[in-house]
Amino acid sequence: MEAPLLVCLDVDYRADGIAVAAGVWFRGWTAEREETHAVAGFSEVAPYEPGAFYRRELPCLLGVLRNGPQADLIIVDGYVTLAPGHPGLGAHLHEALGRKLAVVGVAKTRYHSATDAIEVRRGQSEAPLFVTAVGIDASAAAPEVVRMHGPYRVPTLLRNVDQLARHGMLDRIEPLKADR
């Protein structure tokens, strides 16, 4: 049986209301290399709004997902839930996709009210990552995040999608107006 197709997503914000979203698709939690990736540029991105970050990032994530294959599970750089019963970016993505795909959030910084986040440590790092999830139990997702490829705190493919978003080649991509 073939391993599930996972996708890591991230967004980088540039000057002048431009955002670049990236996705890296790979087979199975322990994959060391991507199967494919996509980068999408967006203009007129919503401004940052404390407590409603998803309004800014969600249209970009949905846009880059349209440019790649159908995944079995999504991993976002951030939180799925901000507090028990309080949806974060990942929960809003899960809802926007019709609750069909599990979404796992892997955050690098502690969010004070996310008391349901599971701390995991990878490599030699003393600094934890914070795992939340919807559509899959976070207690099942957390050890999978630990197993992801790479010797460092942040798994290889999460680092790769971050770099892809930061250095996406906008001169070859037509920025699109983000859906709001």
Note the pLDDT of residue 158.
98
The type of residue at 55 is: R
Kindly give the residue spans of alpha helices, DSSP state H, lying in 46-127. 54-65, 89-96
How far apart, in whole angstroms, are the C-alpha atoms of residue 13 and residue 140? 32
Percent of the chain with pLDDT over 70: 93
Note the pLDDT of residue 177.
55
User: Mind listing the pLDDT tens digit for each residue in 97-141?
Assistant: 999 999 999 999 999 999 999 999 999 999 999 999 999 999 999
What number is the average pLDDT over the span 33-38? 97
**The pTM is what?**
0.92
Sign of CA dihedral 15, 112, 89, 166: positive
How far apart, in whole angstroms, are the C-alpha atoms of residue 59 and residue 5? 22
pLDDT exceeds cutoff 50 at 60: yes
Q: What is the mean pLDDT of the chain?
A: 91
Angle of helix 54-65 relative to helix 89-96, nearest 10 degrees, comes to 50
Residue of 140 and 43 predicted with greater confidence: 140
Place of tokens 């919807």: 134
CATH code assigned to 5-177 = 3.30.2170.10
Task: Let me know: does 58 contact 175? Beta carbons within 8 Å.
Answer: no
User: Mind listing the pLDDT tens digit for each residue in 70-103?
Assistant: 999 999 999 999 998 899 999 999 999 999 999 9
Note the pLDDT of residue 180.
43
Note the pLDDT of residue 174.
46
Note the pLDDT of residue 44.
82
